[in-house]
Structure 1
């Protein structure tokens, strides 16, 4: 084998190892998971975990996981305009997550990750009275995702993993103090690519 061929083989091998190391893995059984995969919400850590299809089946029932893990649903529902001003959150790109304990958190993406604050639970109840679909939002694993930046008026019930994808997108694309010229077109594409599913 020539030196050139050996070098090419080493480079291919290193690239293969790097790709394998970067591949996402199921956080329960360590199997490699595809780009689009299910997630579990771990209540103790209040975090979303990647899982493979077979492991997700174990948590499909309401009683599965004994409350420690909950399967993040896949449902997305586009809502008509919702007056989120009653929640007192002056941010145009934000998601609201009702919690199992009755509280509601609002989180907005920033270059440093998600900013988080509590929302008045009574105000959330008033909003749910105006938009009855919000009463169906599953605590901890679904959210109301809102984008009113740059003239948009998007309101969705989505899985929380969609919200975290949006936070990661903003963090990745943000440049300078105002976000630069990449972040807002990327956010608009994110919302344009959302599709309803049950």
Structure 2
């Protein structure tokens, strides 16, 4: 089974494609991949979103790119993600039942954390990669503070980040920054190349 060390590798940016039908989701995925971003997450709060995930996974397979399922908060959504071909799951919070379901399906799981207690619980459950959420509200200082007691945790900063603001989170200790709504801004997508450097 792949783990996040393998999945994320040296990547610094994860693109989140939220709320798009399959056609537009694949079109944006291709623009993001063309810009040099290898990793994509498709949140699957609805049945329609699972169709978009399936389409992006298929497009990614043709290009050797990975796609995961986001906003996975129930075991049923884990099953839908696995059926759609997702290579990992991401959640806004820490739910050990969802974690167990994802691992049982052969999918690495990235839980969301926002407090020291949550980081510690996720670490105890075996999660070495964790999603700092909502990152914009937590701020870069939160990441810096968490690196002290939890030097082995690798954080993916997610939630409200812009291309311009993302470098602060990388400097503060995030291994990866996730961009969602920023990708809908036509002015920000071309600036991804700067962030990738």
TM-score range, shorter-chain basis? under 0.3
Give the strand-richer structure, 1 or 2. Answer: 1
Larger Rg: 1
TM-score by length of 2: 0.26
Give the helix-richer structure, 1 or 2. Answer: 2
